[in-house]
Amino acid sequence: MRLHLAVFACGLRRYSTYRAATFAGLVTNSVFGLINATILLAVFAARPEVNGYDATDAVTQVFLAQALLAPVAAFGPPLGLGERVRSGEVAVDLLRPAHLAPWWLAHDLGRSAFSLLFRSLPTFAVGALVFTLRLPQGPAHWGMAAVSVALAMLVGFALRYLYALAGFWLLDTRGVNTAAALLGSFCSGLLLPLAFFPDLLGSSLRLLPWASMVQVPADVFLGKEGVLGGPLGGLALQAAWAAALLWLCAALTARATRRVVVQGG
């Protein structure tokens, strides 16, 4: 545990050094949030409600999605593990006195924690200053929202770890990461709330793991009914995906490390 806490702290310190990049990301998320919110407000001016969402719900989800973009890394960055597999440096990783998946999980959670504090919260605050946003009611609801965000970060890590593991078979994961970013942005509710999709398509996408990174946390935050019911159903879905994906990470790591090919010497 002490080792993984130290790795978490290293991840936190590493990303805290990129202050200009953090500020640029904050500005970018805020600007895109303002643009998307303005567009959706124009839509709701013509139609007051879409599948249980009103204008306030939609604008709130826009800024939640922008706030979650960095912690869950739906667009990236990819884990450095993929590049280390390609270069052969993963051989050094396998000599460490720690399993590969928990090591990278601790490091990535440090990155996510920094992004959450210094990029996500300010982005959401910008939305709250400009628009009227819908907030959780009561400590219990806030607690469920916090747990949902934590589970979203676990799901986001597990998916990116699996993309990186593909390097043990493909040697180069850039194509996998590009395709995954496009798929994740569409299926997660990042670009458009899944409530705006046709009922069957929206419900189906909510069951996929990518929705647990953005759409399900938004449902929990807003107190909306998901495919498994209210906020507790959403948390159960996220927890199930997090457990299943982390188990798959461990199983595939054991299989992948049997076929390590060291590149470059």
pLDDT tens digits, one per residue of 127-158: 999 999 999 989 999 999 999 999 999 999 99
Distance CA 22, CA 221 (A): 25
Q: How far is CA 89 from CA 10, 125, 181, 250, in A?
A: 19, 41, 25, 20
What tens digit of pLDDT does each residue of 217-234 get?
A: 999 999 887 767 788 999
Q: Other CB atoms closer than 10 Å to residue 49's CB: what's the count?
A: 11
Which residue positions in the chain have pLDDT lower than 70? 227, 259-265
Say if CB 209 and CB 74 are below 8 A apart.
no
What residues contact residue 78 under an 8 Å CB cut-off, 6+ apart? 160, 163, 164, 173, 177
pLDDT at 259: 61
Distance CA 100, CA 64 (A): 31
pLDDT at 15: 79
